[in-house]
Amino acid sequence: MDKTKDIDINSKENGDSFKDLMEEFEGKISEIEIDDKVKGIVLEQKGEFTFLDLGGRLDGRIKTEDIEAAGNVSIGDEMEVFVTGVREGFYSCSLNGTDSTDQISSESDSPGFETDSTVTGKITGHNKGGFEVNVGGTSCFSPFSKMDRGAGENPDEYVGKVLRFVVEEVDDEKSRYILSRREIIRSEKDKKKRDFLNMLEEGRVYSGTVKSIMNYGAFVEVGEIEGLLHISDISHEKIKNIDEVLKVDDEIEVVLKKADRETGKVSFSMKELTPEPWLEFIDKYSIGDKIEGTVETLKPYGAFVKVFPGVSGLLHISKLGTGKFHKHPKEVFRVGDKVNVWIDKISEDDKRVSLSGESPETDYSNQIRKINEESENVGKNSSSSAFGKMLDNALNKDKK
């Protein structure tokens, strides 16, 4: 049974639930900037530092001596602090907006930078190659290529910002210090992806955007993650060319099939949002019904005819309806031909349909089979005329 077939993807309820999810997530991952004044909850005190919950899974720490100087502060108390930097995976905080532990002294000829270390700096200007960054009084440089994508297009917007950087190159003799934000951005993006992935629920409907199309499927962006919509999960019908169904930037609704939290791989489905074609077919049609179909493929043993969206049946070579013997159905049909066929057999367990090109008025095999079954109930002592009478009645009934 299709557990999602009753979901109304256009309903206000589903739209609001996804919107609420995104708002909740955005609230949790909102980035804290250096110099921001934020509220924190005192979690615990460990020696030199007191640790704070800054909300949204963000942790900070402040010197215990600063806490003690502020007065009587206990675990669970809320207090306002300033974010002064990032050290050892925590946001460094202070009560007055300054913290000597996050500043790099400018009194020394060598600022003491180490390659791959993280520093906080203020962008003071830019030239044709990148940004000038001041880190604790030391002049550094960050090329446009090491910054956010598109930073070189509007560099003035970055001047005055205080950002985190990774030290990429150190040359104390030449006072050359190259900084990069690419690792910071990648790390922040990975964290957002992990946090968002943990909020997703398998089986739920989400709004997404088609970002790219491959021959085996499409990649769909939902919030902070991208997942694969395999070609077999787009529709119950067989799709040969995805471009005929989806386009890049299409806004679509998908069901989350699977989310692997360890690998980050996500898979979506569209066909789960539509009813199972087979159930619709057997509800609408019965054995003996005439139906128009389209020849899909030709095999030596018969032709496969599409008789309903997502449902195809076999028209066996012995039942093509021409009254002649054929070695191959291609002697009669071509792929794409429209044909009238009759439903000869429906196997619900196997979800298979057998077709016939001969109308029941011409093909009496079903009637004869039924009569044979009925004749067995008459008894061995009955005369052969009983069988003949039943056959005549069946044929006369069909001719009416």
Say which CATH class 1-30+200-274 falls into.
Answer: mainly beta
> With 50 as the cut, is the pLDDT of residue 219 above it?
yes
Residues 105-186: name the CATH superfamily.
Nucleic acid-binding proteins (2.40.50.140)
Q: Which of 279, 278, 229 is nearest to 255 (CA)?
A: 229
Cβ atoms of 300 and 316 within 8 Å: the answer is no
Position 357: which residue type? G
The pLDDT tens digits of the residues spanning 148-190 come to 888 888 889 899 888 889 999 988 888 889 999 988 888 878 8
Please say whether the structural domain 32-101 has been given the CATH code 2.40.50.140. Answer: yes
Q: Report the distance separating Cα 227 and Cα 239, nearest Å.
A: 19
CA 153 to chain centre: 32
Measured between alpha carbons, how far is residue 37 from residues 66, 92, 99, 271 in Å? 16, 12, 14, 48
Q: Is there a contact between 139 and 104 (Cβ–Cβ < 8 Å)?
A: no
Which residue in this structure is represented by tokens 């398998």?
202
Q: Work out the pLDDT band at 2, boundaries 50, 70, 90.
A: very low
Where is pLDDT greater, at 306 or 5? 306
pLDDT (0 to 100) of residue 56? 63
Q: Tell me how far apart the alpha carbons of residues 171 and 177 are, in angstroms, rounded to a whole number.
A: 6
- Cα(84)–Cα(273) distance, integer angstroms: 49
pLDDT above 70: residue 222: yes
Please list the residues that pair with 123 across neighbouring strands.
133
pLDDT in tens, 240-276: 889 888 999 999 999 999 988 888 889 999 988 888 8
CATH for 277-356 (2.60.130.10, 2.40.50.140, 3.40.50.300, 2.30.30.110)? 2.40.50.140
Q: Mind listing the pLDDT tens digit for each residue in 359-394?
A: 766 555 555 555 566 666 655 444 445 555 555 555
Residue with tokens 């989350």: 256
**Mean pLDDT, rounded, of the chain:** 79
Across the range 217-243, mean pLDDT stands at 89
Pairing of strands 225-230, 266-269: parallel
Q: Nearest Cα to 229, choosing from 247, 249, 251, 256?
A: 256
- Of the candidates 231, 221, 217, the residue with the CA atom closest to the CA atom of residue 189: 221
Q: What does each C-alpha distance from 15 to 6, 86, 249, 374 come to in angstroms?
A: 15, 37, 19, 58
Instruction: Give the CA count within 13 Å in the CB-facing half-sphere of 50.
Output: 24
Q: How far apart are CA 244 and CA 185, in angstroms?
A: 36
The pLDDT assigned to 9 comes to: 38
Mean pLDDT of 344-357: 88
Among the listed residues 71, 121, 61, the one whose alpha carbon sits nearest the alpha carbon of residue 94: 61
Alpha helices, DSSP H, located in the chain:
12-29, 64-69, 182-199, 277-284, 365-378, 384-399
